[in-house]
């Protein structure tokens, strides 16, 4: 389609929808990396627009510039293509959110067509710019852009299958379904926090691995967030940290459309967001006309890139459902199909005479170049990396391991082992030993605590703090921001396969970050949740700090490992499992109090989930099976010793992870918990909810089905009946 046709289309719009020309778009050249210039000038006739550091951005942005200067109206056409792909997909599904894609199409177009650096044929290219749609309900925007850019994952068929069973285009963006989607969003505020994690990784790895002339790690993280994301506390937490860390390559667009589901944001959201973000330490820019102010958007991005010490928030005023004559600027454009009549009216209003899902040939042609350009950008990067590899072999090897997610041979040997003679310790301390040993062999291990490093015992002693001016360090200080911490770790995990983020707080405060933990499980991110103070055993802080139902609540959650190690070996074994499970997160419940190293534990047996610790029965026919986890395994052991002295055949089983035990063969399960033995007693300082599955209807689960109390730990254990005596009594009753 020619420019003339586009102009005709444009003239059919109402006055308020008139789209401004891009003639005033002025280009500034501030490129600091002059070593790139030769390459650029041979490729292009016009001067490159300012970029921060790498060749790649310059190519993309500059070539886009060339195109858009010659054919300004093609931009409008591309933008309307995006709008109608979204409208049509939602209409066909009769479900979805057309409003955001219609409003943010101009921004989306500029980002994917002019600004971002990616290779559609390799969505996992390491140095790509990351894009996160934090307002995940608007996912048709992202799918439309991936489609236009040439990603295999979103073909026309996929758009037509939007929100259908088995499609690549689910109702909210899911990284584990659709290559090109970086993280899983939809629950509001998560995406911006994930983006902080992505940008953290970029700054961290760049600082660790880049060398002069070899900016191997060098990309931006772009994110679109809406009013909902802004209202969520998790976004404030993460954005406070983003500024604290000076993540200058994080550029967030706030889709300020003044509409949320309940109507005008005036009913619940009247704060001054600009001022809040300035308070957080961000650079704030306002794009007044996000509907058609292409140059305004471009200039804002330029300005954001020129800021070198802090992240930027670009507030973009848009109209939700832009183009819909009767539903624009209203909540009715937000979360449901426009309806056939309104789709027709919108087509008319925007001069869009095409069939549903149509991509005009010139738009298609225009976008096609990204396939070549993307390949070329990656090739250039590969060339650079090859040179880097020659010059900096050790760094390159390490970085490659991070990029590929390969664990170094023999890494497991770093895990400490223990014998019963070694004095006992709190599993939180044993955890710190594991973390410190592992940090020496796992270059991708990075993490920290939500202001409880000295209680959670998470400091890596050989490293300093990851901070604005020391980003190569690996101790992350999250402050008292559990939810942000969890979501940031999801972003870290999804940046690159070999990164192994861990994060810590008191186990009870998983309640603060449960949404992020669930998303870790759903989105298959290998985050290690180091959760200490895992029961009433923490003592005096009382019931607000004592988890009770938390173990059960994670056992009920899909695709997550709930591990409660009993001593040094099991703690090491739990770390081994957490690291080996690349597609699921692990929650480690660790004690505040000292626990002895038990006879019979081992690193390896943890992978079975449940295993026999000791047994004086024969023929798989014990009189009673005592089952314990974590700090209560010791009680089961002691009760077992006592019962054996009384002549009983007793099996003691450590049940460190239900999920892992569930995954064992029936034969193995029978060898540990034979169906023929119904005399079973479990003990765990937590809710008994669910334990009937293990102890059966004739067994007895000893646990805590009420809230904790404030007192020294020993006293609470006694008052709550979590004792050796209780196990003995129960065992005598059931067998």
The region of 98-106, 208-216, 489-497, 516-524 touching a second copy under the rule CB under 8 A is 516-524
696 binds a second copy (CB under 8 A): yes
- Pick the binder of a second copy from 179, 356, 542, 674 (CB under 8 A): 542
Residue 59, helix vs strand vs coil: helix
- Pick the binder of a second copy from 72, 99, 108, 228 (CB under 8 A): 228
Total chain residues near a second copy (CB under 8 A) = 113
Cα–Cα dist 407/621, whole Å:
41
Binding mask 317-346 for a second copy (x = CB under 8 A): --------------x---------------
- Pick the binder of a second copy from 271, 344, 406, 663 (CB under 8 A): 271
Radius of gyration of the chain (CA): 29
Q: How far is the CB of 551 from a second copy (least distance, A)?
A: 9
Q: How far is the CB of 231 from a second copy (least distance, A)?
A: 4
Using the minimum distance from each CB to a second copy, give the nearer residue, 262 or 344: 262
715 binds a second copy (CB under 8 A): yes
Exposed / middle / buried, residue 325 (Cβ in 10 Å: 0-12, 13-18, 19+): middle
What angle is formed at CA 229 by the lines to CA 224 and CA 230, rounded to 5 degrees?
A: 100
Q: How far is the CB of 684 from a second copy (least distance, A)?
A: 12
Using the minimum distance from each CB to a second copy, give the nearer residue, 41 or 94: 94
276 binds a second copy (CB under 8 A): yes
Cα–Cα dist 83/88, whole Å:
9
**Closest Cα to residue 528, out of 551, 553, 503?**
503
Strand partners, 623: none
689 binds a second copy (CB under 8 A): yes
Strand (E) positions, 550-709?
A: 561-563, 586-589, 594-595, 610-615, 624-628, 650-655, 680-683, 700-702
Using the minimum distance from each CB to a second copy, give the nearer residue, 150 or 686: 686
Using the minimum distance from each CB to a second copy, give the nearer residue, 489 or 639: 489
Using the minimum distance from each CB to a second copy, give the nearer residue, 237 or 623: 237
**Residues with active-site annotation:** 482
Cα–Cα dist 303/289, whole Å:
16
Using the minimum distance from each CB to a second copy, give the nearer residue, 213 or 464: 464
Q: How far is the CB of 174 from a second copy (least distance, A)?
A: 7
By CB under 8 A, the residues from 102 to 161 that bind a second copy are: 136-137
By CB under 8 A, the residues from 176 to 205 that bind a second copy are: 184-189
Q: Which residue stretches of 321-360 are H helix? A: 340-349
96 binds a second copy (CB under 8 A): yes
Strand partners, 425: 595
**CB contact at 8 A, 243 and 313:** no
Q: Residues near 177 by Cβ (< 8 Å), separated by ≥ 6?
A: 168, 170
Distances (CA, A) of 577 to 32, 162, 501, 721: 46, 36, 14, 32
How far apart are the two ends of the chain, measured CA to CA in Å? 84
Q: How far is the CB of 590 from a second copy (least distance, A)?
A: 17
Using the minimum distance from each CB to a second copy, give the nearer residue, 399 or 487: 487
663 binds a second copy (CB under 8 A): no
528 binds a second copy (CB under 8 A): no
- Pick the binder of a second copy from 540, 604, 663, 725 (CB under 8 A): 540
């Amino acid at each position: 389609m020619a420019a003339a046709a586009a102009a005709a289309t444009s003239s059919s719009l109402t006055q308020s929808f008139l789209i401004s020309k891009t003639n005033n778009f002025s280009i500034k050249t501030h490129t600091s990396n002059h070593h790139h210039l030769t390459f650029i000038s041979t490729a292009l006739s016009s001067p490159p627009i300012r970029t921060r550091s790498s060749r790649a951005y310059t190519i993309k942005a500059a070539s886009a510039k060339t195109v858009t200067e010659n054919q300004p109206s093609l931009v409008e056409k591309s933008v309307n293509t995006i709008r109608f792909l979204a409208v049509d997909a939602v209409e066909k599904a009769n479900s979805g959110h057309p409003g955001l894609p219609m409003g943010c199409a101009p921004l989306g177009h500029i980002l994917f067509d002019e600004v971002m650096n990616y290779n559609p044929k390799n969505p996992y290219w390491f140095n790509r710019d990351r894009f996160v749609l934090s307002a995940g309900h608007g996912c048709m925007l992202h799918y439309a852009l991936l489609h236009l850019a040439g990603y295999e994952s979103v073909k026309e068929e996929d758009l037509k299958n939007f929100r259908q069973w088995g499609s690549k285009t689910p109702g909210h963006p899911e990284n584990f379904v659709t290559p090109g989607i970086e993280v899983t969003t939809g629950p509001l505020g998560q995406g911006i926090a994930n983006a902080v994690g992505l940008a953290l990784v970029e700054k961290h790895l760049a600082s660790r691995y880049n060398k002069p002339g070899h900016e191997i790690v060098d990309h931006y993280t772009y994110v679109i967030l809406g009013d909902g994301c802004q209202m969520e506390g998790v976004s404030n937490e993460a954005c406070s940290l983003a500024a604290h860390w000076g993540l200058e390559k994080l550029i967030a667009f706030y889709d300020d459309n003044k509409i949320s589901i309940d109507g005008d944001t005036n009913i619940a959201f009247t704060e001054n967001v600009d001022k809040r973000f300035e308070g957080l330490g961000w650079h704030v820019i306002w794009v007044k006309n996000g509907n058609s102010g292409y140059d305004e958007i471009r200039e804002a991005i330029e300005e954001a890139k020129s800021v070198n010490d802090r992240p930027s928030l670009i507030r973009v005023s848009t109209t939700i459902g832009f183009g819909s004559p009767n539903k624009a600027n209203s909540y009715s454009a937000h979360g449901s199909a426009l309806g056939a009549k309104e789709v027709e009216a919108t087509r008319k209003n925007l001069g869009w005479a095409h069939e549903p899902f149509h991509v005009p040939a010139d738009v298609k042609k225009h976008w096609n170049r990204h396939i070549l350009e993307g390949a070329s950008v990656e090739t250039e990067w590969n060339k650079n990396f090859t040179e880097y590899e020659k010059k900096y072999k050790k760094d390159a090897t390490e970085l490659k391991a991070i990029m590929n997610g390969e664990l170094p041979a023999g890494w497991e040997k770093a895990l400490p082992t223990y014998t019963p003679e070694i004095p006992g310790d709190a599993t939180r301390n044993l955890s710190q030993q594991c973390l410190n040993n592992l940090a020496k062999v796992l270059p991708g291990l990075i993490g920290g605590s939500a202001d409880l490093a000295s209680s959670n015992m998470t400091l890596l002693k050989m490293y300093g703090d990851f901070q604005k001016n020391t980003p190569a360090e690996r101790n992350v200080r999250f402050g008292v921001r559990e939810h942000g911490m969890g979501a940031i770790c999801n972003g870290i995990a999804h940046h690159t396969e070999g990164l192994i983020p861990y994060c810590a707080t008191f186990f009870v405060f998983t309640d603060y970050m449960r949404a992020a933990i669930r998303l870790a499980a759903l989105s298959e991110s290998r985050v290690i949740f180091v959760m200490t103070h895992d029961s009433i055993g923490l003592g005096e802080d009382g019931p607000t700090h004592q988890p009770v139902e938390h173990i059960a609540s994670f056992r009920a959650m899909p695709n997550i490992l709930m591990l409660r190690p009993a001593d040094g070996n099991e703690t090491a074994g739990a770390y081994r499992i957490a690291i080996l499970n690349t597609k699921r997160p692990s929650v480690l419940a660790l004690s505040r109090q000292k626990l002895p190293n038990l006879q019979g534990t081992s690193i390896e047996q943890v992978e079975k989930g449940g295993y026999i610790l000791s047994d004086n029965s024969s023929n798989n026919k014990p009189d009673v099976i005592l089952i314990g986890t974590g700090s209560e395994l010791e009680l089961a052991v002691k009760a077992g010793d006592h019962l054996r002295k009384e002549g009983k055949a007793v099996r003691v089983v450590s049940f460190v992870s239900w999920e892992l035990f569930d995954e064992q063969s029936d034969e193995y399960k029978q060898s540990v918990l034979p169906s023929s033995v119904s005399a079973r007693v479990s003990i765990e300082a937590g809710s008994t909810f669910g334990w009937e599955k293990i102890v059966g209807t004739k067994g007895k689960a000893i646990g805590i089905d009420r809230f904790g109390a404030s007192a020294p730990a020993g006293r609470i254990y006694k008052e709550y009946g979590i004792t050796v005596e209780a196990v003995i009594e129960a065992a005598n009753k059931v067998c």
